[in-house]
Amino acid sequence: MKFNWNYPTTVWVGKDRIKDLEIACENLKIKKPLFVSDKDLIELTFIKKIINDLEKNFNKLNIFSNFAGNPIGENVEEGVEEFKNNNCDGVIAIGGGSALDVGKAIAFMSAQTLPIWDFEDIGDYWKKANNENIAPIIAIPTTAGTGSETGRASAIINRKTGVKKIIFHPKFLPSIVILDPVLTIDLSPRLTAATGMDALAHNLEAFCAPGFHPMADGIALEGIKLIKTSLLIAFKDGKNVEARQNLLAASSMGSTAFQKGLGAIHSLSHPINAKFNVHHGLSNAVFMPYVLTFNKNLIENKIKLICSYIGIESSFDSFLNWILFLRKELSIPNKLSDLVDLKLNEVDELSQMALEDPSTNSNPKKLSLNDMRMMYKNSLSGDLF
C-alpha cells in the first residue's frame, strides 16, 4: 500500500517508492540535481542502481560524497562549491543523518554569503539568511533514526572548536521526502539498534519537554509505540518490511515532534559525538536511563501516560526497566566507559559543552554544570541512582 503524507512536508511512503524519484524531481522542476551521499554509502550496490537510473533521465548527474559520519563545516563548503561549479538547481540527499544533514546544508548555503556558523539555532539567527534562491531538497533516508528528512536543521561540527552546532532555518525542511522501507532492509543489526534508539530518544524527549504542543505530543506518543512494536523485530529480522516501515515512520515522527524541544540526552551526546566520533544514536541510548532518572520527579506523570499508551505497567520504574531491557536485547552497552576512554579530568570540558548545547534549555529540569558532571560520571560508572 502507498500513502502520501503532507505533514510536516510532502512525504511519499511505501515499498519501492524510490522509483518515484524522477517524478519528485519533475514536481520540483529540478533539472540539474546534486546527488549527495556519504563516502561509504556511495559504494553500495543499491545506491549505484539509483544513480544509474537517474543518469538515464538527466544529461549530467553531479555527485558529492566526500564526507563521513559526524560531518564538519568544511564538508558543506566543498559541497557548495560542487553545487555552484556545476550550476545545480536542487539537491537529492540520500543516506543516514549525516548525508541528509550535509545535503540540506549544501542547498541552504548555496544561497548564502555569511558563514554557516552565523545560522546556529540561537534566537533569531536564522533571520540573517538570504531566503531567495535556496535550492529545493529531496530527502531519502536509508536509516530510521535521525529523522533529518523532516527536520529544519542540520548538525554540523565546527572543527576549529570541536563543537557540534545545530544550524537552523525553516527552508532546511526538504520539499519532498521518500520513505521506502526497502532501502533500509540491509541495515546491519548494530545500526538498526543505534538508529532505532535515536528515534526513541527524539520522541521521548519531545514528549517530556515542557510547553504546550499537543500535536507534537500525539506524534511522539505514537512514535514511541511504533518503536516498541517494531524495533526488536527489525533487529532480529532485518527483512521484515512492515517493521522497517514502522521504524522509518517513527524516525520522521521524532524529528517532527522535537520542534517542541529535546533535553539532556542530546546535550550529553553532542560533545561525545564531536570529540570521540561516536554514533549519535548509540550515545543517546547509553545516556537515556541516566537522564530519565535525573528528570524523574518532573516527568513521572508523563512517563505513566506513555506506559498506558504502549501497553506496559503504568509506573516510572516499569518504563525504566523496559528501556534497560530494550538496550540489553539490542546489545547496547550500559556505560559510557564501554564506548570511550573518557578520563575524569575531561569531564569538566564536556560538561561545559553540554550545558551550552541548544537542547539543554528544553530539558524538563533546569540544568547546572554540576548536573552535567554528575550525569557524565554516573554514565561512566553505571550508577543510576
Domain ranges of the chain: 3-183, 186-381
**Integer angstrom CA distances of residue 341 from 223, 239, 337, 355, 380:** 33, 35, 6, 21, 10
Q: 3-183, which class in CATH? A: alpha beta
The Cα–Cα gap between 333 and 322 comes to 15
pLDDT band of residue 325 (cuts 50, 70, 90) is very high
Average pLDDT, the chain: 95
pLDDT in tens, 261-294: 999 999 999 999 999 999 999 999 999 999 999 9
The Cα–Cα gap between 127 and 112 comes to 12
CATH code for residues 186-381:
1.20.1090.10
Cα-Cα-Cα-Cα dihedral sign, residues 187, 382, 271, 221: positive
> First and final CA of the chain: distance in angstroms?
47
pLDDT band of residue 348 (cuts 50, 70, 90) is very high
pLDDT in tens, 178-235: 999 999 999 999 999 999 999 999 999 999 999 999 999 999 999 999 999 999 999 9
Could you tell me the pTM of the whole model? 0.93
**Among candidates 131, 183, 177, which has minimal Cα distance to 28?**
177
Instruction: Please determine, for residue 345, whether its predicted confidence score (pLDDT) is greater than 80.
Output: yes
The string of DSSP letters for 128-140 reads GS--TTPPPEEEE
Q: What are phi and psi of 91, to 5 degrees?
A: -125, 130
The Cα–Cα gap between 151 and 140 comes to 13
Q: For position 105, what pLDDT does the model report?
A: 98
**Cross-strand pairs, 3:** 13
Q: Contact 184/247 with Cβ under 8 angstroms?
A: yes
Amino acid at 204: L
Establish whether domains 3-183 and 186-381 are of one fold: no
Place of cell 557524565: 376
- Tell me the three state secondary structure of residue 231: helix
Q: For position 331, what pLDDT does the model report?
A: 97
Number of helices (H), then strands (E), belonging to the chain: the values are: 12, 9
pLDDT in tens, 72-130: 999 999 999 999 999 999 999 999 999 999 999 999 999 999 999 999 998 899 999 99
pLDDT in tens, 233-253: 999 999 999 999 999 999 999
- Tell me the three state secondary structure of residue 155: strand
Q: For position 162, what pLDDT does the model report?
A: 87
